[in-house]
Amino acid sequence: MAAGPAGGGAPHIAQNAAAGETAYIQYDRKIAERACEWLKDAARRPGDKPWVLYVSFVSPHYPLVVPEEYLKLYPVSDMPDAKLDPEDGFDPHPWSARLSKGTAGLSRDQKRRALAAYFGLCSFVDDQLGRVLGALLAAGLSDRTRVIYTSDHGESAGARGMWGKSVHYEEAACIPLIATGDGIAQGKVCATPVSLIDAHPAILQSVGLDAVAGLPGRSLFEIAGEADDAARLVFSEFHAMRSPSAAYMVRQGRYKYIHYVGFAPELFDLIDDPEETKDLAADPAFASTVADFEAKLRAILDPIATDARAKADQKALVERHGGPEAVTQRAAGAKNFTEVPPEILSQL
């Protein structure tokens, strides 16, 4: 299947940054409120049966519209310029070039205002999380509850001319992870690389259940209680939105290797170059490192065959919805986020 329509990285994401209210803001406030109510009720329930509460906030997802009280925390004039901006001469990797035009034509002020709005949304969701943790403390449950704070992905936030995810650079692939509570050492920083597949066994362990045989991942709490293992391998893959082909990431030790089907790979030294500004893949001095990481990737999967299966699934999905032309017409003018249905808000 050919790649989908070339996108420009959604310049309107940054262009439309502003102070205000959205359905997402209302949704997150209500989610925090319902979580607080649930915890208050949990404190009154008898018995020692373990429980799990999943609290999911949409913010800081765009639209980059945030209440004024949070936006004013980040003066636009204080915001830094975007890292590796193509308008400053940065030449993006050919695979991600179609995404690296998301801020083209925007003024410096617009770019900084978008970043300020994003930071404001982060502070907004921090407040909602604070409400939930305050309710946990007030309910008297914090001493026997574990809390995992994390996210599904990061945000390019203008770096390399992009807003959104869809790439394996640190700003998009590296996510926050903080754990606290019963049996977790305070103030410890764990240097072992982990991923979201390690959250599932951690949750099961916390409620007294065994990990599911055959599934990948180890409990985050087990990993955190051991000596750091910087050599642990973390893997990720991407086949979707506007990608010309598959992209795979293998992170181990100090290096991150990004493999693109049909394009040259990238290699970054995350110790010497944490901002991933210097691709080492074409440097003859790192040829053996590149070969070693490609072998590690191929021990996990066949990159070409896996991409072919993904593209076949995508093609079948498009055909079920009327074919490429019908899908393209339907998507014309579509927003880069899913609206919250009014009936959902009314039910919260």
- pLDDT digit string (tens) for 19-30? 999 999 999 999
Q: Count the Cβ atoms, other than its own, within 10 Å of residue 234.
A: 16
Query: Average pLDDT in the 153-161 region?
Result: 93
Q: What percent of the chain has pLDDT over 90?
A: 78
pLDDT at position 103: 80
> Is the model's pLDDT at 1 over the cut of 60?
no
Distance (Å, rounded) from C-alpha 234 to C-alpha 93? Answer: 22
Distance (Å, rounded) from C-alpha 79 to C-alpha 158? Answer: 12
pLDDT at position 11: 60
Tell me the CB-side half-sphere exposure of residue 83, using CA atoms within 13 A. 13
Query: Average pLDDT in the 215-227 region?
Result: 94
Estimate the crossing angle of helix 23-44 against helix 108-138, to 10 degrees. Answer: 10
Give 304-309's long-range contacts (Cβ < 8 A, gap of 24+). 304/261, 306/237, 306/246, 307/239, 307/245, 307/246, 307/261
The pTM score is 0.91
Distance (Å, rounded) from C-alpha 58 to C-alpha 37? Answer: 19
pLDDT at position 3: 47
Q: Which amino acid is at 179?
A: A
Contact 119/74 with Cβ under 8 angstroms? yes
Domains of the chain by residue range: 10-144+154-160, 234-333
Distance (Å, rounded) from C-alpha 300 to C-alpha 252? Answer: 14
pLDDT at position 334: 67
> Is the model's pLDDT at 5 over the cut of 50?
no
pLDDT at position 132: 98
Contact 173/153 with Cβ under 8 angstroms? yes
pLDDT at position 12: 74
**Residue appearing with tokens 């319902």:** 34
Confidence band of 292 (pLDDT split at 50, 70, 90): very high
Question: Which of 96-105, 208-217, 294-303 has maximum average pLDDT?
Answer: 294-303
Burial of 284 (0-12, 13-18, 19+ CB in 10 A): exposed
Distance (Å, rounded) from C-alpha 101 to C-alpha 64? Answer: 18
> Is the model's pLDDT at 171 over the cut of 80?
yes
Distance (Å, rounded) from C-alpha 275 to C-alpha 293? Answer: 20
Mean of all residue pLDDT scores within the chain:
92
pLDDT at position 178: 96
Class of domain 234-333: alpha beta
